[in-house]
Amino acid sequence: MSDQNFTAIEAVTRRSLRQGVAVMWRFITGLPSVRYTVLPVLCFMLLASAIPPFFLWLIGQFYSCDLQTSRTHGCSVQILDLFSINVTFQFLGIIALCAALARFSCWVFFEIPGQWSAQALHTRLIAGLARTRTTYFDQHPSGRIINRITSDFGSLRDSGLIAVGDSMNAMIDVACIMVLVTLAHPVGTILALPTLCLFFYTQYYLSLMAQHARAMKGARMGEVIHRLTDLIDGGAIFERYGQLEKLQQRLGRAVRRMLEMSVFKENLDAWGRFWMTAITTSYLFTGFVFVTVAMHQESISIALGAVIMTALMQLAPSFGWLAYSTGELNESVAHAQRVFEIVDLPDEVSQERRDARVVDTARLPTEPLAIEFRNFAMSYRQDTTPIFTDLSLTIPAGKSVGIVGRTGSGKTSLMQSLFRMVYVRGGQIAIGGTSIHDAPIDSVRALFGVVPQDPYLFEGTVRTNLDRDCTIAPERLQAVCARVGFPYPIDNEVHEGGKNFSVGERQLLCLARIMLHNHPYLIMDEPTSSVDTITDTKIQRWIMMDNG
């Protein structure tokens, strides 16, 4: 790889990491329970890290007193020449209990409420999908969308908060240990800051490289899956043309590249652990030297020296846990970025027009009036070729109008334009002189009842598909079903998509639904294409004479 390409990759990865930090901060501050409890949690973490060394020091002071006197009357201990306390067995027990409660409170007030309030993010995730344009689902595979909703959000909720809490806790542990070292010798204060800077500098670049390595590994894995799919789905065709061996060779090369990237990532992790251990061990050795010299010079007591040495023994695990938790935090950042991509999807109204801001204050008439297309132009994407250009058309009120044409001539596009499911490139659609683009989008769609060519039913019963709110009398529902010729009772089970019904039966159910809700306008896309001749005759008679 050339230096120029490496520099470009490094710049992109740096920008992604900075954006990831902002996204993770947004995730944390967006949780109500965490936003209001972060300060108490920090206090609890500080207490949980500071109390154990203080407890050990008190024990040392306690047993430095006359043993018989301390057991009966306690021991007077001077705190930083400011005040003294009387240390007893009961007091030491209270201190130990406070340390345990502080550690427990960190978990109770941070992770549990955070996971509970993360459900609000799930609601925003679903709302982001619900308000975006239907073209988004054409551009993104459903498997990817489902993965964002389930896998990414689940990982973010379960491990994201834990990674943040563990990182904060480990950082406070390391800081408390370094403060103790400064009590042994002033030089410890001077060395603490460079050690932390070197640690985070190394961790920063390791995160950059690890993030890029994960992306490369994912790409290599995708290539392997693609080759496997070719082999499974098209193996017979490759064999017929004598290309099966070449396909197997390409699969072998893809697997080899994926394994090479996996080995590279493991080597990267190993080097990261080596440098983290080297930094920690260097500071640990220096700290032991300071404590030993301080005790030899009698500038600190043996009890305090023992406490500092005990704390220093925890420095390596604390640094290791800090490195691990920040690595987990980096993984959570990737999940958060993908989740917020959906949360931040633009709503369909703001994306509807290119030339003007959409106004949603107009009120459309509820009675059937003429529909006018005025120099209307639309497309299915913002920057693709328009489907309609300068379309002018008037559909009279109270009339049955048929639109015919070959496949691809624009019949469905005309219907989707009425439902405002397209990008408006120019002109207007008006009902009774009022533009549908100036009215709330829900009120526009409520005007139209639709019988699509391939209807979709929801899991439940016939009744719930006809009346989602269950406010219509069962007798009326059954009567309407009989009127359109639907042969099943309203309590009959409906599978997802209506798979337990034929296409014609689904179309009949859609007709019954239209008759129940009295929409001012009816749009039918070949409503009798999958029914028998007798039912076709009944429906045609209903369309021409009854009109619902």
Decide if pLDDT at 433 tops 80.
yes
Mean of per-residue pLDDT scores for the chain: 78
Kindly state whether residues 27 and 39 are assigned to the same domain. Answer: no
Q: What is the pTM of this model?
A: 0.64
pLDDT winner (highest mean) among 281-290, 350-359, 369-378, 405-414 = 369-378
pLDDT for the residue 449: 85
Residues 106 and 136 in one domain: no
Q: Would you say residue 419 has pLDDT above 80? A: yes
Q: What's the rounded Cα separation, in Å, for the pair 411 and 392?
A: 15
Residue with more model confidence, 175 or 478: 478
Is 351 inside any structural domain? Answer: no
pLDDT (mean) for 223-248: 79
**pLDDT of amino acid 373:** 92
Return d(Cα 498, Cα 461) in angstroms, integer: 10
Asked if the structure places residue 388 within a domain, the reply is no
pLDDT grade for 372, boundaries at 50, 70 and 90: very high
Asked whether residue 167 falls in the same domain as residue 233, the answer is yes
A 10 A CB-CB count for 270 gives 9
Please give the Cα distance from 434 to 429 (Å, whole number). 8
DSSP 337-350: HHHHHHHTPPPTTT
Q: pLDDT tens digits, residue range 471-503?
A: 888 889 898 888 888 888 888 999 888 888 888
Confidence (pLDDT) at 545: 56
Q: How far apart are CA 414 and CA 409, in angstroms?
A: 10
pLDDT in tens, 113-144: 777 777 778 888 888 888 888 778 777 777 67
The tokens 């058309």 sit on which residue? 393
Q: How far apart are CA 365 and CA 105, in angstroms?
A: 59
Same domain (yes/no): 130, 99:
no
What pLDDT band is residue 175 in, cutting at 50, 70 and 90?
Answer: confident
In-domain check, residue 363: no
Query: What CATH number corresponds to the domain at position 314?
Result: 1.20.1560.10
Angstrom distance (rounded) from CA 13 to CA 60:
51
Copy the structure tokens of residue 319: 């640094």
Domain range for 507 is 399-422+434-546
User: Is there a single domain that holds both residue 88 and residue 156?
Assistant: no
Do 47 and 152 share a structural domain?
Answer: no
The residue among 90, 114, 138 that closes a domain is 114
pLDDT > 60? residue 352: yes
Two tokens, residue 92: 């030491």
Do 294 and 147 lie in a common domain? Answer: yes
> From CA 43, how far away is CA 40, in angstroms rounded?
5
pLDDT at 5 over 50: no
In a domain, 131, yes or no: yes
pLDDT of 147 strictly over 60? yes
Confidence label for 546 from pLDDT (cuts 50, 70 and 90): low
Residues 516 and 459 in one domain: yes
Backbone angles phi, psi at 471, to 5 degrees: -110, -5
How many distinct structural domains can be found in the chain?
Answer: 3
